[in-house]
Amino acid sequence: MKIEKKRSDSGSGRSGLPEGFDALDRTAGGKEAGSVRRYAMTRQQRAGWLGKYMRDSESVDPDAVGRKKKTEEDFTEKEKTTAKKIIRAFVILFTLILMAGTAFFVTGRMKLETVSVEGDTRYTAAELLEASGIGYGDLLLTARLKAKNPADSLTLLEYCRIGLSLPDTIVFEVKESVPSAYTEIFGSWFSLSSDLKVLGTSGSPEEYEEAGLVRVVLPEVSLATTGSRIELSGGADSGYITDFIGMISGSDFSDRCDILYLDSKYGIVMNVDGSFRLIFGSSGKKEIKLDAARRVIEEEIAAGTASAVIDLTDPSAVGVKRVTSIDPMAKE
How many other CB atoms are there within 10 angstroms of residue 171's CB atom? 15
**185 and 149 together in one domain:** no
Tell me which of 150, 176, 202 is where a domain ends. 176
141 and 221 in one domain? no
Q: Which domain holds residue 169?
A: 114-176
**CB burial class (10 A; 0-12, 13-18, 19+) of residue 205?**
middle
- Give tens-digit pLDDT for 40-86: 555 566 556 556 655 555 555 555 555 555 555 555 666 667 777 78
252 occurs within a structural domain: yes
Written as one letter, the residue type at 324 is T
Q: Is the same domain home to 161 and 186?
A: no
78 domain-assigned: no
CATH code, domain with 128 = 3.10.20.310
On whether residue 94 sits in a domain, the answer given is no
How far apart are the C-alpha atoms of 161 and 170, rounded to whole Å? 11
Per-residue model confidence as pLDDT tens digits over 253-271? 999 999 999 999 999 999 9
Residue 238 located in a structural domain: yes
Helix/strand/coil percent split, the chain, to 5: 35, 30, 35
| Cβ partners under 8 Å of residue 138, min gap 6 | 111, 112
pLDDT at 311: 97
Last residue of a domain, one of 157, 176, 195: 176
Instruction: Provide the whole-model pTM.
Output: 0.60
Assigned domain for 9 exists: yes
- Nearest Cα residue to 25 out of 57, 46, 7, 3: 3
Q: Which residues neighbour 81 within 8 Å (Cβ) at sequence distance 6 or greater?
A: none
Residue 51 lies in a domain: yes
Residue 241 has pLDDT above 70, yes or no: yes
